[in-house]
Amino acid sequence: MGSAFCPACGNPSPTVITDGRAAPAPPDPAGTAPVLERLARALSPKYDVKRLVGRGGFAEIYELWDRDLDRRLACKVLHPEIAWTPGMLDRFRREAKALARLQDPAVLPIHFAGAGEGLVYYVMPFVEGESLADALRRRGSFSAEEALQVAEPILEALAHAHAQGLVHRDIKPDNVMLEAKTGRVLLVDFGIAKLLDPAAAVGTKTSTGFTVGTVHYMSPEQALGQANLDGRSDLYALGAMLFQLVTGTPPYDGDSSAEIVGKHLADPVPVASDVNANIPRWLSDVIVKCLSKKPEDRFQTAGAVLAALAAGRTAGSAPLTGAASAERRVQWLAEAVPGSSRPGSWVAGAGAGAGLVAVLVVAGWFARRGGYVGSGVMLVHNALVEPVELLRSGVPVDTIASEGTVRLTLAGGTWAAYRWRLIRPGNPPIGEPLEGPLPEPGRVRGRRVSSITADVAGQRYFAPLVTNTSASDVTLEVNPGTAAAVRCNCLVSRGAVRTHVGYYRLYENSAVAAYNSAHPYTGPHADREGFATRVARPSGALALMF
C-alpha cells in the first residue's frame, strides 16, 4: 500500500494492519499508466477510485468510495511530475500528521496521507458544493453580512491553527469551499505551499516545477520570499479576500504577476468603502488594518480580527451576525478595546459606560456559544485513541478524532438523542465494538463538556499500542481475562511503533500474547500480563513492547 498513515485508522505508523500478507502490485517505474489506475493500485482495495472531479495548480482531485463505511471521499493527488525527493516526502508526512490534528468545523480534515506508485496523495471528506472563487465569478460580490458569514469561520479556523504553530500560506477564494446542503464554510489545502517547497520565492517557479502562492492575496513578506512566515501573513491574505468579497475585485490587480507584487509592496492600501459605499466604515477599517504592509501594523492574531468584527457589529450601523468562539473571548476583547492592556484604563473617560455595556453584550454572546452559560450548547470530547462517530437518533452526524472536541447545539437543551460509536482500526475492523450514550456533561473550566472515555456502562476497556522490536512480524492474541481469548487477526510488522489493534475489555488478569507470524499460535510466543494498573485513564491506552 505504501501509506504513511493507515487508511483504516489514521495511525501515524509505518505498520500496515491486515489479516494476511498482501502481494504488492507491480510498480510502474515509467509512470506511463493513467493516474487513476496508479492511484487505485496505491490505495487499499477497500477504496474504489471513481472519477477525476477537478484539477488545480498543484493537484488533481479524484472521487473515492469507501466500501467499508459506505461514504464518498476525495483524494488529492499532487501532480506526478513534481520531483519528490526523500526529504520532501518526509516533510510531507510530518506536515500531514500535524495538519491531521486540526479540529475545527471550518477545517476540512485529512483522513490519511500516503505515497505509492509514484504518487503522493491525501484523502479527505468529499464536499458537494462550490469554491468561493466560483461563487465570486457567478455573483460578482457579497453583501457585508454575507462576507462576514464567510470570513468569521475562516478566522476561527486560523486562530485554532495558529495556536498550534500552523500557517496556511495560501488563503484565497479557491481554497474556500461552500458546502451546498448546509452552507458550511470550509478551508482546504492547509499548509500545502510549505509541504511543496517552504523556501521557494512565491510567484516564481520553484524547484518542484510549478508556482506556489497566488499573487492577488500575497502578503508583502511572502512576496519577498521570507521563509519564516507567521499567522499575520494569513491575516493579510484574509484581508485581501475580504476586500474582494465586498467589492467584487482583489485589492491590487495588474497585467503581470510582477506588477501585482509591486503594488502589494508599495501602493497605498485601498479603502473598500470608497469602492462600495454600502460597506460599513468599521468593516472597511478592519480590512485596511489587515492589509497593512508591515506585519507589526496588522492585527496580531485572528482572534483580534474577530473581536474587531464583533465590536463593529455591536456599535456600527449594520446588525451583522457572527460566529466567534468563546474559548478566545478574553484575548479578543483585550485587543479589541482601546487601552485595555492596562487594567481599568478602558473604563475611564467619556463614553466608558456605553463601551462597557457593548463589551458585556459581546462577552455574553461568546459565552453562550462556547458552552459557558445556558443549556443549548455543549462540547463533546473524545478521549479515546481511536476516532468515534457521533450519532443523533441513530443517524451519523459527525466524526470526532482522537483527542478531538466538537461543539453541539442541542435541540431542546437535551443530549439524550445522541450516542457515540467507536470507529475500529483495520480492514476488516479489529478489536471489540464499543459504543454508548453520551455521558452526562460536567463543567470543565466553566463549560459543559461530555467526555467519551474507555469506561463504558461500568466496564473498563483498554487499547494496546504495540511496538514490535523482535526480528519477525508478529500476530497478537488478546485475553481480556474471561473464558475466551480474542485473536485480533492482525499482523504487526517488524519495527512497527505503537500500532493500534483496537479496544478490549479490561480485567485484573487481562493478557496480550504475541506469536511469530510464521508459526501463529503454535511456535514460541511472548506474554504480557499484570498491566491492569498501568492502563491510562481516561483513554484506556496501554503501550506494550515485544
Residues 42 and 181 in one domain: no
Is the residue at 23 inside a domain? no
- Name the residues annotated as catalytic: 170
Secondary structure class of 36 (helix, strand, coil): helix
When the pLDDT of each residue in the chain is averaged and rounded to a whole number, the result is 74
Domain that holds residue 383: 377-452
pLDDT of 269: 92
All three cell numbers of 339, joined, read 487601552
Is the residue at 96 inside a domain? yes
> pLDDT tens-digit profile of 370-412?
444 445 778 888 999 999 998 888 888 888 888 888 888 776 5
Is the residue at 18 inside a domain? no
- Which is more confident, 524 or 356? 524
pLDDT of 426: 78
Find out whether 61 and 76 touch, Cβ atoms under 8 Å.
Answer: yes
Residue 474 — pLDDT band, cuts 50, 70, 90? confident
By percentage, how much of the chain surpasses pLDDT 70? 70
Tell me: pLDDT of 365 over 50. Answer: no
Residue 10 — pLDDT band, cuts 50, 70, 90? very low
Residues 338 and 321 in one domain: yes
* CATH number of domain containing 66: 3.30.200.20
Tell me: pLDDT of 347 over 50. Answer: no
> pLDDT tens-digit profile of 143-198?
999 999 999 999 998 998 888 888 888 899 988 989 887 788 988 877 555 554 44
Residues 318 and 176 in one domain: yes
> pLDDT tens-digit profile of 210-242?
334 578 998 999 888 777 888 999 999 999 999
Residues 325 and 299 in one domain: yes
HEC secondary structure over 104-162: CCCECCCCEEEEECCEEEEEEECCCEEEHHHHHHHHCCCCHHHHHHHHHHHHHHHHHHH
The count of domains in the chain is 4
pLDDT of 71: 86
Is the residue at 255 inside a domain? yes
Average pLDDT in the 439-449 region?
80
Residues 142 and 259 in one domain: yes
Find out whether 501 and 514 touch, Cβ atoms under 8 Å.
Answer: no
Instruction: Tell me the residue ranges of DSSP E strands in 277-404.
Output: 377-382, 388-392, 395-400
Is the residue at 381 inside a domain? yes
452 - beta bridge partners?
A: 382
Is the residue at 298 inside a domain? yes
Residues 134 and 120 in one domain: no
> pLDDT tens-digit profile of 501-543?
889 998 888 888 888 766 555 555 566 778 888 888 889 988 8
Residue with cell 500480563: 529
Tell me: pLDDT of 8 over 70. Answer: no
Pick from 303, 328, 359: which residue ends a domain? 359
> pLDDT tens-digit profile of 453-471?
999 988 999 998 888 877 7
By percentage, how much of the chain surpasses pLDDT 90? 18
pLDDT of 120: 83
Average pLDDT in the 469-478 region?
80
Residues 120 and 135 in one domain: no
Tell me: pLDDT of 99 over 90. Answer: no
For strands 395-400 and 185-187, give the pairing: unpaired
Tell me: pLDDT of 331 over 60. Answer: no
Residues 110 and 242 in one domain: no
Residues 303 and 340 in one domain: yes
pLDDT of 398: 83
* CATH number of domain containing 197: 1.10.510.10
- Which is more confident, 300 or 478? 300
pLDDT of 78: 77
pLDDT of 407: 84
pLDDT of 154: 93
Residues 212 and 257 in one domain: yes
Q: How far apart are CA 282 and CA 263, in angstroms?
A: 24
Residues 346 and 269 in one domain: yes
Please give the full DSSP string across 427-481, using - where no structure is assigned. Answer: TTT-S---EEEPPPPEEETTEEEEEE-SEETTEEEEEEEEE--SSS-EEEEEE-S
Is the residue at 400 inside a domain? yes
Tell me: pLDDT of 305 over 90. Answer: yes
All three cell numbers of 204, joined, read 516564481
Residues 113 and 239 in one domain: no
Residue 475 — pLDDT band, cuts 50, 70, 90? confident
- Which is more confident, 61 or 330? 61
Q: How far apart are CA 299 and CA 277, in angstroms?
A: 24
Is the residue at 12 inside a domain? no
pLDDT of 252: 92
